[in-house]
Amino acid sequence: MTIGFVGLGIMGLPMCKNLLKAGYTVVAFDPYAATALQDVVSCGAIRGKSNADVAAQSDVVITMVPNSPHVREAVFGKDGIAEGAKPGLDIIDMSSIAPLESKDIAEKCLAKGINMMDAPVSGGEPKAIDGTLSIMCGGPKALFDKYQDVLKVLGASAVHCGDSNGAGNTVKLANQIIVACNIAACAEAFSLATMAGVDPEQVFNAIRGGLAGSTVMDAKVPMMMNGNFKPGFKIDLHIKDLNNALDTGHGLGTPMLLTSQVQEMMQWLHNHDCGSNDHSAILKFYEQITGVEVRKQEG
């Protein structure tokens, strides 16, 4: 099996490398990431000349790009995947996009004889590197079953969320709401503890094993306490996901009160040059208001 890979950003680059390590033949391309493309080529990938060229050489193409317009461009744009697709080509779109967009793109693909599954991921750069992402899949169950071995290379879990395209992206939006609100709650709580004169590291050790403990707390609070906001998942990308969540919720008539509040925090951070920070930098919103940094105490 030859796998095409389009999109070599923070997540796509390590995912592509993991496929190479697993022994798959990979044809890669990204017009916006020449350095990353050279990196995977040096690891054994075949350099694609365009998205169409990737499709022409592949049995299945994985797309990992920022948002809905980028998926449309990669598939249907000039020299896009659809141009080079052989009959029966499969696309696994691992981007996080709006569910209705995912459904529409899949329908247009099917009209061209291309099968598509949406399979967004959660876990950020560390889990992309480790190959332990959580993968949420929507689309025909047969397509999900067909690529189980590929998905197992990229993730610790892959769950079929529904037969309709967009089901995976709906689950991803739910995931992103919970993650964003969890990070914001941690930032608020640890700001409170610090202002009350309690060492945040002691707070972390005291509560992480109880009901308040979470994977988000374990991953993000140490970053906060170390002042390390190197992006594993950028605030700007989380803004994109929450915009998709709000649009979807508004269309369904679902109250999105917490999501909208956290979105406002993230938008404020974007407007204060923090958009490229890790989403744990929600803490900076509180630090700006309080004038107090949440950091481990020395000694």
Mean pLDDT value across residues 133-147: 98
What is the crossing angle of helices 167-195 and 215-226, to 10°? 50
Mean pLDDT value across residues 120-139: 96
Mean pLDDT value across residues 192-210: 97
Cα 263 from chain centre: 17
Q: Among this protein's residues, is 152 annotated catalytic?
A: no
Q: In sequence order, what are the residues at sequence separation of 6 or more whose Cβ sits closer than 8 angstroms to the Cβ of residue 270?
A: 235, 236, 239
Residue 210 pLDDT exceeds 70: yes
- Write the DSSP assignment of the chain as a string of letters: -EEEEE--STTHHHHHHHHHHTT-EEEEE-TT-HHHHHHHHHTT-EE-SSHHHHHHT-SEEEE--SSHHHHHHHHHSTT-HHHHPPTT-EEEE-S---HHHHHHHHHHHHHTT-EEEE--EESHHHHHHHT-EEEEEES-HHHHHHTHHHHHHHEEEEEEEESSTTHHHHHHHHHHHHHHHHHHHHHHHHHHHHHTT--HHHHHHHHTTSTT--HHHHHHHHHHHHT----SSBHHHHHHHHHHHHHHHHHHT---HHHHHHHHHHHHHHHTT-TTSBGGGHHHHHHHHH-----PPP-
pTM greater than 0.85: yes
Which tens digits make up the pLDDT trace of 151-185?
999 999 999 999 999 999 999 999 999 999 999 99
Mean pLDDT value across residues 17-37: 97
pLDDT value of position 298:
75
Distance from the first to the final alpha carbon of the chain: 55
Which tens digits make up the pLDDT trace of 48-78?
999 999 999 999 999 999 999 999 999 999 9
Cα 85 from chain centre: 26
Tell me what percent of the residues of the chain surpass a pLDDT of 70: 100
Average pLDDT, the chain: 97
Residue 221 pLDDT exceeds 70: yes
258: amino acid identity, one letter: L
Q: Name the catalytic one among 17, 103, 127, 172.
A: 172
**C-alpha to C-alpha distance for 9 and 12, rounded to whole angstroms:** 5
For residue 232, name the pLDDT band (cuts at 50, 70, 90): confident
**C-alpha to C-alpha distance for 166 and 57, rounded to whole angstroms:** 27
Residues in the chain: 299
Which tens digits make up the pLDDT trace of 85-122?
998 999 999 999 999 999 999 999 999 999 999 999 99
Which tens digits make up the pLDDT trace of 254-274?
999 999 999 999 999 999 999
Mean pLDDT value across residues 136-147: 98
Residue 299 pLDDT exceeds 90: no
Mean pLDDT value across residues 190-209: 97
